[in-house]
Chains A and B, each alone.
Chain A
């Protein structure tokens, strides 16, 4: 399996979906100011990642090592974080990382920390946790990326590997830690401009490429045809279910926001009324020749309601977006397959 995957990746540029994504990322980000324009991954990294993935159903995380060359980030190695269990809660991750990196340095392997990776199922990676950790990475090491790998999609026949960075806008917002509606508005940020995708190039040494070709020849035809499987219900169902959950969350969030808005406006009204009454009274007093009433602190009288943080809804929207993309891709591909199958059938008849 591993070999075949690399086979697909062994052509200098990665699979079509990745390049498509890359194009979009470029277009959307439109960010000349971003430090990294391209990510070049060594095949080794993918294999390593893939291997640890095979072990369980838990989400796998780890550290990417490599270096930056001009505007290209070269990832040459990686190591995983150990899986957490409840009994070793006092495990020191930082310590572990440092030691790991030191050890790697001893054997003369690239030891510069350039980001981290994480696996995901059905593309459900747009979460608060990811945002926070990527922010801290990017804050500390400017050019770090997060590599997202989807084992399920990969098992269906197309390598799904994507590199993401936070956009500079989002970085600013996160730095200020102000997620109020106003701040987000000012920052002009929407779910589409939260992450930028960095195009990935997979690079292998010539020796490996040769091996690939050999393996390609040897592998049976049936091995390659997972791509053509017509079964779709499971994946689609799962995706829909997930999408539905997020939509529910979104709905709730909107309701929350709605109540907030209503409360604010109600208060505004009250405030206004109060002010008017005050004014009238003052006018009367003036006409009677009395001194006007002293000014009171209105903000004390009317405490504005706490605005709900909008970051979550942004994230949910982002997540919905990813799901939608997934579904779209998936259905489009499957439609194609269906028509192909139909044509084949007709031809056979």
Chain B
């Protein structure tokens, strides 16, 4: 609806403009005509508006009168004041003006005022005489009016073109000022029949439009379609109006046809008008009836015109009795074609004409050459039918187009002596000379490519969940068939370049389809070879895989444009991935090096690339290669714009960022629905593979300060899950994964399994895979394995040893698998344990630091950096880099004697003592040193430790750990003086480390006590 409205209003203003230009005597023309139309509309419905209009216009005219007076007495100041008031009044009257058009008198005063001011401005002497106020007002007013008039430029120019009319109107005006404008209108109607007629001849289209519009307003949507049709004919008629000027032969007849009724009609109307005028005060109802009648007639008149070309052209194609020859037909064809692309050509009629021409040509046996030529043109004009890129073909057009191409192909196949090519010049065409091979200009490949585009457009513009979409999708087979035919044709006759292009087209229609037949064949290996052969024969030859292979290889070898090859590779990979040929797909992807330079490709290719990557990831997942799957999907998923990246829909939030134009472009890039990759499946695959990677990793690095996330998205989901105040049973796919992750964290694979694979998830995700069961078994196995790993990471500290049999029972894995998993963990130093072969047990070394020990390590690390920073401050103070310290003071401090007066190992030379530089490389002992609890000699424990913990220090000073901390301590002592650092910190860490070294004992004891 709205579209029609907007175009309607557009052309309306156009017509009114052209009216102004053409009409020779438009005095009241512009002004008079429009109120006339409207007042008719209004009289019955909106009387209120009328009085408002009067009021506003009266206000304006009054102001104008004062301005004119002021102009006469050269009072520019007054002029300025009044002009400002006028502007305001005009603003108030804006709503009315919008409806009625700018009133003539308003334009007049603007033009006059400007002229007047310019005059004054030029008149140097006069200006000198002026008083100051006036002069000032003059300049301001001049500037203002210039600015103001810019908005009314067109009106003013048109007014200035016929200034003599102004006088007329002026007089009229003065007479009728008081009467109000409506009377004025009707007065002007009676100017003269001749003028009126002329005027009318332009008016009707506008009028009918008005009428249509009004209809729409009144009974809104009910008549939509009807209106549309009406409108169509309306537009064609008006189009041919302008065509007249260009002297189109085709439309000539229609013009005459149109003229006749117009004049008749108008005369009638004029008469009626006159009558109306005579009985001005006659009751309005009857008048309205009349008008309605008139309008209706107008409508009919329109419709008749719409039909005209069809009825009239047919006999007109060739004058009767003309001998139909090649030359005549081609001349005619050119005639028709000349109109092509020009504004206002009736495209439907043109197609009609061309089809007629084909018939005639066929009837008269003019030979295939001509027919082919005309067919080419028919198809071209079918494509041309929609001027707008965004709109798509109507179904009937589309059907016609397909038929036409098919026919064309039939002819081409039937007549191998026809040469078709886009580089055959018009002049060198040979359409009828049967002795030589026929040569026709035109390119079948382009037509087919265009057809493919149209098909995509149709699919894009159909609601994917409607029956209609299915209907359209049925055409896909036809499209494929055509492409195949063309392919065959071009394989014989085309250049390699053309073959590449048609191959690509074929590939694009093949790559996304899962080849169920081939799949079936694979599943049933040759049982009865004879029968399967038969089947194969029935199955019409090649697998899509073989086909893809053949087409792509040809393109790889022959193609010269990069784009086609890139597309072919991507499609090939996609096809491999779709059919679970992971290694081929991966190798092809890696070999092509597309990942490096895909960002330079154009958006559609990038979309294809994204689709391919996603398919690759899903393929890896099906193979159980979670890591590869995760890596492939990471880029797409982490952006959070998977939908956009895959060309499967626009994101709402970025709507503000792009303008209309961009949106249109993006919309055109969208992939049709039947090519879509299920986004939920994609996300699920990603999240599950992230879960399988991340959960064991998290368990292994629980207390690592610098642990990295593998997948941010997954963590985000976990956090969202944690934030839920009330945790119900999972509903969505994400919730399922989160719940499963939680179960896995505890090593509870059964719960995890039940969350990942259940009815809901099957329905949502897993059943979408072609080999759903295989995927599910793979998944269960993966969950078992990763749960086992997680379990070992999390709970190894609780065990002294654990039997592998127990583990294999717990996780329902067979013993060798458990063995291999554990061995792998041990080798990778993830698990501090050893395998005891005879008893089939895992013996824990219990060397992982506990949580507190980890914290202490972290703290020590942080202290290290703190010390380092502190040292720098101190260096700064001293001006030399540490020389002073290391030389004198520090040696003193760090010598064992200084710090450990009761040292048990006084023999330790000071040089062997760790130096002050607790820099990163020499920083605290890595894990190993700290957690060995057995170094504490039992003697030391009983030896008065209880009395004062601090005296432990010397006894333990042989430890590397402690020497390091003592280094820190000394440092703190030194630096403290200046920088206010707590040395107690170090002291307490010292103690803490001792304490923590006891810690495993502590735990044992605690357990034993209970």
- Whether B979 contacts A254 by the Cβ 8 Å rule is yes
1/0 contact trace for B821-858 toward A, CB 8 Å? 00000000000000000000000000000111001101
B808 at the interface (CB under 8 A from A): no
In the docked arrangement, what's the CA distance between A341 and B1002, Å? Answer: 9
A232 cross-chain contacts in B, Cβ below 8 A = 1002
A12 at the interface (CB under 8 A from B): no
B946 cross-chain contacts in A, Cβ below 8 A = 335-336, 339-340
- Whether B991 contacts A313 by the Cβ 8 Å rule is no
A190 cross-chain contacts in B, Cβ below 8 A = 980
- Whether A265 contacts B979 by the Cβ 8 Å rule is no
Interface of B: prevailing SS: helix
Interface residues of B in 838-883 (CB under 8 A from A): 850-852, 855-856, 858-859, 862-863, 865-866, 869-870, 872-873, 876-877
- Whether A243 contacts B869 by the Cβ 8 Å rule is no
Known: A244-B855, A254-B870, A342-B1005. A191 touches B980 (CB 8 A): yes
In the docked arrangement, what's the CA distance between A255 and B1002, Å? Answer: 39
- Whether B858 contacts A244 by the Cβ 8 Å rule is yes
B998 at the interface (CB under 8 A from A): yes
Known: A236-B852, A251-B865. A244 touches B1008 (CB 8 A): no
Interface residues of A in 291-349 (CB under 8 A from B): 310, 313-314, 317, 320-321, 323-325, 327-328, 331-332, 334-336, 338-342, 345
Q: Which of B859, B876, B1005 contacts A243 (CB 8 A)?
A: B859
B945 cross-chain contacts in A, Cβ below 8 A = 335, 339
Known: A317-B980, A320-B982, A327-B991. A258 touches B873 (CB 8 A): yes
B859 cross-chain contacts in A, Cβ below 8 A = 240, 243-244, 247
- Whether A338 contacts B1001 by the Cβ 8 Å rule is yes
A265 cross-chain contacts in B, Cβ below 8 A = 876
Interface residues of A in 124-156 (CB under 8 A from B): none
- Whether B998 contacts A335 by the Cβ 8 Å rule is yes
Interface residues of B in 959-979 (CB under 8 A from A): 979
In the docked arrangement, what's the CA distance between A327 and B877, Å? Answer: 32
B982 cross-chain contacts in A, Cβ below 8 A = 191, 317, 320-321, 324
Interface residues of B in 976-995 (CB under 8 A from A): 979-982, 984-985, 987-989, 991-992, 994-995
B941 at the interface (CB under 8 A from A): yes
A250 at the interface (CB under 8 A from B): yes
- Whether B981 contacts A231 by the Cβ 8 Å rule is no
- Whether A345 contacts B1005 by the Cβ 8 Å rule is yes
B798 at the interface (CB under 8 A from A): no
A236 cross-chain contacts in B, Cβ below 8 A = 852, 992
- Whether A320 contacts B979 by the Cβ 8 Å rule is no
CB distance from B799 to the nearest CB of A (A): 19
A241 at the interface (CB under 8 A from B): yes
Known: A230-B1009, A258-B876. A328 touches B984 (CB 8 A): yes
A317 cross-chain contacts in B, Cβ below 8 A = 980-982
A262 at the interface (CB under 8 A from B): yes
Known: A237-B855, A240-B856. A327 touches B1002 (CB 8 A): no
Q: Which of A250, A314, A338 contacts B866 (CB 8 A)?
A: A250
B872 cross-chain contacts in A, Cβ below 8 A = 258
CB distance from A59 to the nearest CB of B (A): 24
A257 at the interface (CB under 8 A from B): yes
- Whether B991 contacts A233 by the Cβ 8 Å rule is no
- Whether A324 contacts B995 by the Cβ 8 Å rule is no
B1006 at the interface (CB under 8 A from A): yes
Total contacts A-B at CB 8 Å: 121
The total of chain B residues at the interface (CB under 8 A) is: 41
A231 cross-chain contacts in B, Cβ below 8 A = 1006
A244 cross-chain contacts in B, Cβ below 8 A = 855, 858-859, 862
CB distance from A190 to the nearest CB of B (A): 5
A313 cross-chain contacts in B, Cβ below 8 A = 980
A172 at the interface (CB under 8 A from B): no
- Whether B862 contacts A321 by the Cβ 8 Å rule is no
- Whether B866 contacts A251 by the Cβ 8 Å rule is yes
- Whether A321 contacts B984 by the Cβ 8 Å rule is yes
In the docked arrangement, what's the CA distance between A342 and B279, Å? Answer: 125
In the docked arrangement, what's the CA distance between A76 and B896, Å? Answer: 53
In the docked arrangement, what's the CA distance between A166 and B981, Å? Answer: 19
Name the residue in B869, B946, B980, B1001 with the highest tally of chain A Cβ atoms < 10 Å from its Cβ.
B980
Which residue on B lies nearest to A336, using beta carbons?
B946
A1 at the interface (CB under 8 A from B): no
Q: Which of B858, B862, B865, B995 contacts A334 (CB 8 A)?
A: B995
CB distance from B190 to the nearest CB of A (A): 77
A261 at the interface (CB under 8 A from B): yes
B989 cross-chain contacts in A, Cβ below 8 A = 324, 327
B101 at the interface (CB under 8 A from A): no
**What are 16 of the A-B contact pairs (CB < 8 Å)?**
A232-B1002, A233-B850, A233-B851, A237-B852, A240-B859, A244-B862, A250-B866, A254-B870, A258-B869, A258-B873, A321-B985, A323-B985, A328-B988, A334-B995, A335-B949, A342-B1001
Q: Which residues of A contact B (CB under 8 A)?
A: 190-191, 230-233, 236-237, 240-241, 243-244, 247-248, 250-251, 254-255, 257-258, 261-262, 265, 310, 313-314, 317, 320-321, 323-325, 327-328, 331-332, 334-336, 338-342, 345
